[in-house]
Amino acid sequence: MTTTIKVSNETKQRLDMLQAKMTLTFGTKKTLTELVDTITRIALRHENELLEPEKLPPLEKDPAMKPPVDWGVRTDASKVDEYIYTED
């Protein structure tokens, strides 16, 4: 039996990254279903930790939630169309 679940785009990206890392590590690609099965099994082995909310880091301290990097490049929003649609 399968069930469809909805996840945010951010969660989907994280799952895709994990799937890619596992593919590189093990040399075979796991489906997202297999990945979620594996994550669930690991989570159930650590159920006590999951049920202790004080051990979970606050979302604002989550390393995946880093602020955007300022590359120091100045842009002029009024010229966006020029940059996009002008051929070199």
pLDDT digits (tens, 9 = 90+) for 22-81: 999 989 998 999 999 999 999 999 888 878 766 666 666 666 667 777 778 777 777 777
Residue 26 lies in a domain: yes
- The Cα–Cα gap between 14 and 81 comes to 32
- Alpha helices of the chain — where are they, by DSSP H? 9-26, 32-45, 47-50, 80-85
Q: When comparing pLDDT for 70 and 13, which is higher? A: 13
Domain hosting residue 37, numbered range: 7-51
Residue (of 44, 47, 15) closest to 30 by Cα position = 15
Residue 33 lies in a domain: yes
CB of 55 closer than 8 Å to CB of 49: yes
For tokens 């989550």, name the residue.
62
Domains contained in the chain, number? 1
- The Cα–Cα gap between 20 and 52 comes to 30
pTM exceeding the 0.75 threshold for the entire prediction: no
Residue 16 lies in a domain: yes
Residue 67 lies in a domain: no
Residue 61 lies in a domain: no
Q: Is the pLDDT assigned to residue 5 strictly greater than 90? A: no
Residue 61, pLDDT score = 67
